[in-house]
Structure 1
Amino acid sequence: MTLREISRVLPADQAWGLWTSRQIVARIMDTCGPGLAGTTVTPVDTIDAHGGRVIGEWVHGAGVSEADTSDRGAIYFVHGSGYALCTPRTHRRLTAWLSRLTGIPVFSIDYRLAPRHRFPTAAEDVHRGWHWLTTQHGVAPEQVVVAGDSAGGHLSIDLLLQSDVTHPAALVLLSPLVDLTFALARTAEQHRRDPAIRARDAARLVELYCTGIDPTHPRLTLDVAGGRVLPPTLIQAGGAEMLSADAIALADDLRAAGGRCDLQVWPDQVHVFQALPRLSPEAAPAMREIAAFVTAALQRDHIEQVG
């Protein structure tokens, strides 16, 4: 009755419409998100070894030490919202909760947004941030879990399909966007209306990033089934959202490539419900599942290294 109807009428291709959408999403994330008490945030704005700029923030949830992370591991978080709406700031409540539950810090990459910055800018920023984290900052790839939501899921998968990227311990995806044509979402929409947004409105937003690019470009239409075997993956999606179809298809492709994937479709939940615990009571148990998966993945990798 609110977000779905607002997204229908706001013109994403006009500055005022995009600005309004950004404000609405930020307010929802703040109002319905978890608390920030005890959270410490450290901004990062640096130049990598190749002269590229890396922007983001370290988030230490309540009780998580700000001491050197090189021997404790980290989560590399790639936020979503159509390549155009969100930032590490909008997702700070979610990343702080994730840090507190896992006991490790989160580095949230601040990639450049459309329409000012188009494809492949976001993917390049995510790639640059990963290499900075695992080389210059000194956190070994096997001590990192990559996590992303929505379009951040697409960017995370794209990152790990690149041949120059050493795989992390695991991958966590929340309501991942995989099919940028929204064909899967439109099919799902015929059976159940997404309570938050229409497929055509979401597609308009994503087009701000990749307009004019052949949709079959290998970094837009990702060949997951025929690509590298990705690390153990946990996918969570809401049963009420249209992108549950993307989550199911992605899980099938990950397994077809030879990877391990745990798919959880939470009944009647909306897009990235984990970020909205004041709206969705299911957010807390879902986040506990994620924390347990992250902890087990990092412990398993540590045991394998010692062995």
Structure 2
Amino acid sequence: MTNAGSTTTQIRPVPVSASIPSRLAAMVTSVTLRPLTSALPLNARGVWASRQLIAGFMSTLGPPLRGTKVVQVRSGAVRGEWVAAPGVEFGDRAVYYIHGSGYVICSARTHRGLASRLSRATGLPVFLTDYRLAPEHPFPAAADDIEAGYRWLLERGFLASDLVVAGDSAGGHLALDLMIENVRTATPQPAACVMFSPLVDLSFRLSADQERVRPDPMITAQGARELVALYTAGHDAEHTRLTLKLPAGSNLPPILVQAGEVEMLSADARYLQQTVRAAGGSCDLEIWPGQMHVFQALSLLVPEANHAVARAAHFITTSLEQTATLTERRVS
């Protein structure tokens, strides 16, 4: 059995203001990373350079915990890796993690550090899926791979009620798509879902409106739109798996959304909460003061990163325990 932590642990609230290092990090990023991401062309060389740039950024500022166990998975269409922090054992519960970066840039390797810290905080192993990337593999490759990974976990004996889905940025969009597909196919939903800086609106109209209020330190709305277009090119923008409409009464698990105050996707986070609640679901939203996009992954740069992961872990373990209690009551 895995040690999934305890819900009795005292969890600190979201801070009312950003730390000085976080503010400095956003300022430095806005004059370094943002110009670079804007200047790189979206051709083969530009995509390659962007992947190297972000991989270096993530590995330097959010490396895996020392002693983290990594087990590679290649099973048919499913690719990824199990990530377990030191002392975490493999058991009957797990986190299914979906990385982001516009369907184009990141990988399981870039998010191994975040996965290791989420594993430590929850006491659970994390299956970090390594879905196919655009432009080599356009829509719906990523969405199909995410669905295949979830089904693979169920086929390996995990109960849906013992799984939590988590993701960041485009991974949030893919997580929501997975849950909608679960409704459509009558597949059991996970116990909960956690999203860091989720991308919801692929038109980036919400982001552009937010950008007029405050520029995102990492990328422009136009730049992000062009990046995601490498995945969606040639497809109707109103395709149901791109717009992700939630019918009223959709059977969704409880959702926690964390977003940074200074990122443009804070608008998507607010919209997602409104949409889920309008459909009858439960969605908690945390807007972290002064934080930028997926700050949870930058533990060596942003002091609040581990704090946010701890809050997400508390939500995960609480949700799993509540689901287990409900299951026991039904059985008895």
* Both proteins in one fold, TM over 0.5: yes
Q: CA deviation at 1:229?
A: 3.1
The equivalent residue for 2:8 is none
5+ residue gaps, structure 1, are: 48-52
One-letter code of the match for 2:326? E
Pairing 1:245–2:302 present:
no
Once the two structures are TM-superposed, the CA of residue 83 in structure 1 deviates from its matched residue by 0.3
Q: Equivalents in 1 of 2:168, 2:98: separation in Å? A: 7
CA distance in 2, matches of 1:7, 1:226: 38
Cα 1:5–1:227, aligned 2, differ >3 Å: closer, same or farther? farther
Q: Is the 8 A contact 2:276 2:283 kept in 1?
A: yes
- SS of 1:108's partner is strand
Distance 1:120 1:32 in 2: 31
Distance 2:64 2:100 in 1: 20
CA positional deviation for 1:38 = 1.6
Is 1:201 the counterpart of 2:223 in the alignment?
Answer: yes
- Provide TM-score, normalisation by structure 1: 0.95
Corresponding position: 1:121 with 2:141: yes
Secondary structure of the corresponding residue to residue 219 of structure 1? helix
Q: Residue 173 of structure 1 aligns to a residue in which SS?
A: strand
Which of 112, 135, 139 is 2:158 aligned to? 139
Amino acid at match of 2:133: L
Provide the secondary structure at the position in 1 that maps to 2:51. helix
* Structure 1 runs, 4 residues or longer, greater than 4 Å off: none
Say whether 1:19 aligns with 2:39. no
Q: Hey, what's the Cα distance between the residues in 2 that align with 1:225 and 1:286? A: 30
1:21-170 equivalences in 2 (<5 Å): 21-47=50-76, 53-66=77-90, 69=91, 71=92, 73-135=93-155, 137-162=156-181, 163-164=184-185, 165-170=187-192
Task: Give 1:80 deviation, angstroms.
Answer: 0.4
Letter matched to residue 34 of structure 2: R
SS of 2:225's equivalent in the other structure is: helix
- Aligned match for 1:230, one of 227, 230, 252: 252
C-alpha spacing 1:37/1:58, structure 2 compared with 1 (3 Å): same
- Structure 1 CA distance for aligned equivalents of residues 252 and 288 of structure 2: 23
Equivalent position SS for 1:42: strand
**CA distance in 1: counterparts of 2:301 and 2:240, whole angstroms:** 37
Task: Tell me which amino acid in the other structure corresponds to 2:75.
Answer: T
Contact 1:161 1:227 in 2 (8 A): no
Question: Unaligned 5+ residue runs, structure 2?
Answer: 1-30
Residue type of the alignment partner of 1:241 = E
Matching residue of 1:182 = 204
Q: State how far apart, in whole Å, the 1-side matches of 2:249 and 2:102 are.
A: 24
Aligned partners of 2:140 and 2:195: how far apart in 1? 21
**Offset at residue 34 of structure 1 (A):** 4.5
Residues of 1 paired with 2:249 and 2:154: CA distance?
22
SS of 1:269's partner is coil
- Per-residue CA deviations over 1:28-63 (Å, capped at 9, x if unaligned) read 11111154212000000012xxxxx11111111111
Match of 1:205, as an amino acid?
A: L
Specify the SS of the correspondent of 2:240: coil
How far the C-alpha of 1:300 sits from its partner, in A, is 0.6
**Take 1:36 and 1:282, find their aligned partners in 2: how far apart are those partners?**
17
Is residue 224–residue 250 contact of structure 1 (8 Å, CA) maintained in 2? no
Considering Cα pairs closer than 8 Å and 6+ residues apart, tell me whether 1 or 2 has the greater RCO.
2
Q: Which has the higher helix share?
A: 2
- CA drift of 1:186 comes to 0.1
Per-residue deviation at 1:226?
Answer: 4.0
Distance 1:195 1:226 in 2: 36
Distance 2:86 2:278 in 1: 39
CA distance in 2, matches of 1:288, 1:190: 32
